Amino acid sequence: MDRFKNQILQFCIGGETSIYELIKRQDFSLKEFFENIKKLSDKGILKVENGKVRLRDEIKKEYGFLEAIDDPGCKNCEKTGYEIKGFFEKLKTKWLEVTKNRPEAIEVYDQGFIAPDGIIRRVEFIYERGDLLGSEIFIMGDDDLLSLALALTGLPKRIQVVEIDERLVSFINEVAKRENLPVQAEIFDAQYALPDKFRKRFDVFITDPVETIAGFTLFISRATAALKGIGSAGYLGLTTIEASRAKWYEIQRLFSEMGFVITDIRREFSLYPRGDKNFSRYEEKCQVYKVVGVGADCDWYVSSFFRLEAVTEPKAKVEGTQIIDEKVYKDDESWATPY
């Protein structure tokens, strides 16, 4: 069975579509995606031109019966399984108010932040799993400003953010002081060991790590060092866009070696929207842009959200200094990372 072909046929049967929308709708890495698109094009199944994709007429006729099948995903919650209403709708309004002057994403740290609805859904998910009420939370890297959303619920005991970007540290601390929130942000460079004052002090870590194996191992190790022990939880984002199944396999093995079990994976849970302050400002430096030849015409970068739980004493794979060079940030699947 050719599952990639099936995904493309099922979506493209509705008519011509943006190649970026197609990227969002399938679950192969960008490198694999374009290799498979070329194969389907060479076989006469697809026509690809100017960033648009359509089925050739004879193929569309052959698979016309697919048009009768509706998209089974929930339209009300963007297929996440979480509505934003009541308490969480008010939280979103307040979070948008306090973050309206947020710093823009910058290329040097490969930054990009998720949409407001995605922020609130992360809060909802963490709350539902019992990891928010009275908890001590460690956030490694917070260009999403999730720390402020979590704190605005009034539920966590304290939140510690470590972040290399001085602009974000200052912004988070200013908002926390003004709103009287239990959040503290400090400068931290992941190249160096986690300071003793953060080690084994937290119930939960949250991070969106670099998606090379070297980068992922480093960032998860630093976050893991902050956990108290068995029963502690970790939350992280991971894409299929820059991480193939082979890479997911290595990451899954890494979790086991570090003492974690995967309890949840929420697919396509976090959307990274285009915008003046977000990563689309430097999209032309990404490999995907160079291959397509045109910029994105829709929001297409999505990631899954994982929950881990420590079933043995959590153990970091990297403890000492590890210099961050290009191999930590980029590999041959880093097609959405600026070069």
Asked if residues 44 and 54 have their Cβ atoms less than 8 Å apart, the reply is no
* Structure confidence at residue 109 (pLDDT): 56
Structural domains of the chain, with CATH? 3-68 (1.10.10.10), 87-329 (3.40.50.150)
Percentage of residues in the chain having pLDDT higher than 90: 81
Q: Is 114 helix (H, G, I), strand (E, B) or coil?
A: coil
**Whether pLDDT at 284 is above 90:** no
Classify burial at 85, counting beta carbons within 10 Å of its beta carbon; exposed 0-12, middle 13-18, buried 19 or more: exposed
| Cα 270 to the center of its chain, rounded Å | 6
Per-residue pLDDT tens digits for 197-244? 999 999 999 999 999 999 999 999 999 999 999 999 999 999 999 999
**Whether pLDDT at 281 is above 70:** no
**Whether pLDDT at 279 is above 70:** no
**Whether pLDDT at 320 is above 60:** yes
* Structure confidence at residue 71 (pLDDT): 86
Euclidean distance between CA atoms 294 and 288, whole angstroms: 9
Q: Which of 275, 272, 269, 259 is nearest to 308 (CA)?
A: 259
Indicate the pTM of the whole model. 0.94
User: Maximum Cα–Cα distance for the chain, whole Å?
Assistant: 65
Per-residue pLDDT tens digits for 296-315? 888 899 999 999 999 999 99
**Whether pLDDT at 280 is above 80:** no
Per-residue pLDDT tens digits for 141-198? 999 999 999 999 999 999 999 999 999 999 999 999 999 999 999 999 999 999 999 9
Asked if residues 301 and 307 have their Cβ atoms less than 8 Å apart, the reply is no
**Whether pLDDT at 110 is above 80:** no
